Structure 1
């Protein structure tokens, strides 16, 4: 095995596992299987304020966050088709940039959904 092929396989595996974890987390938080915690999810003051806010935020963010996870999986497949280290870096960069954008859009949607809920400590 040449060095480029080994690097491509390692990068593809890491990206695939990362994408799968993001997809799982998006689904688990949106379904309520994964509640408020200190490790994963949209952790802001508004989303952590209640279980209802947590769930509303993650339901609002799910589709976009999942798309981010799938973008990394797709980039992992594309990495295997690259012919040079430069192409590999470009594909990895594009996939992770798309992931970042989609996760941030999802987080914004989630925070908006959480803050839109009526709270007993503020007037409606």
Structure 2
């Protein structure tokens, strides 16, 4: 594997870590509802309670996603084609996090 492939794998894992940190901070209330950072989907933007609830619901998928993507990034050093798996996993876990946040925020507004 080349240096560029290794760097790309770790960059993808770092991006997922940023998602985890932002989600954790928003779920704890340290990042308030805003238009710049966080899961800014219609249900989470509905209220402050929905913002926190949506991010709390997205915590588990984002943490699991980070662990899986980090493992895949490590495997990408030794396995040809694993970089594609890293990218696919990143988007799958981001999607799962958004769906969880959507459901959590909607449940909080009912």
TM over 0.5: yes
Please, what TM-score do these two structures have when normalized by structure 1? 0.72
Q: Which has the larger radius of gyration?
A: 1
Q: Which runs of 5+ in 1 are unaligned?
A: 117-124
How many pairs are equivalent?
110
Task: Please provide the CA RMSD for this pair.
Answer: 2.1
Aligned to 1:44: 41
Runs of 4 or more, structure 1, over 3 Å off, are none
- Aligned runs of 1:1-124 on 2, under 5 Å? 4-82=1-79, 84=80, 87-116=81-110
Q: Which runs of 5+ in 2 are unaligned?
A: none
Please, what TM-score do these two structures have when normalized by structure 2? 0.79
Change (3 A) 1:15 1:45: closer
